[in-house]
Structure 1
């Protein structure tokens, strides 16, 4: 996109600004969209919500839609956890409906019914809250960082145990 009301760059981050703007001033939103038969545009997902599992692209919203069908689920965020063999694997963070329980084995079974094996979350975590951005969107970057930190901690523990 481009226009007079669009911001001119990221504060004190010339590298991010250069990566986000083309040389002729177009801003790359990293949004994926589709156009319907009437010519209207529909937001589909953020490019950052695309997981790459063993060379296959997975749209996180596809996995999230399946998990929202599970009883007791209020909201879902799927992100990639680093994996040494596959690059990353899906992990789902599930927020339950107030007063409800989420049957994690049933959630895995629903994923097995509806998704190809490489798209299925390797882990489903029921959480009390999801991190939020200033616009109340789920801060998936915070979830990715949490998973990466946990992985680093596990590796460090393993190195100590092996020593």
Structure 2
């Protein structure tokens, strides 16, 4: 049984799976460090690459909020918040995501952090996302359960899944 959380070690393990062409999909339980690992990996090995993408982040203030933003930018859009229960703003999520996607041009890598249950009921969005995998190199953080991308991996070629949970068993 291994029990470690050494970021440099994990970055090097991820690098071993990176052939310079494949999609890299990082998965694992909530708060295990998927986004942190992806960020450290990009900073170490891809800092001179042209990168774009769609990011989401859980922000905790006086309430839980999910924010959407474009990779490398600061402008954020609220796509979900919990007052008494969680409310998602699919219209904002879709409008901004499609705007970002339309502007993706000549990138070395597209980053998606985090693709998860949120997209499950948005069938057209999922199709667009899968089509991006066909045209671009993708680095993504994925939720495991009920994930539309995980459920469609058989349609993709040349990808690796890096499951962080295996390093915490």
Q: Name the TM-score, length of structure 1 as normaliser.
A: 0.28
Higher helix share: 2
Q: Which has the higher contact order (CA 8 A, sep 6+)?
A: 2
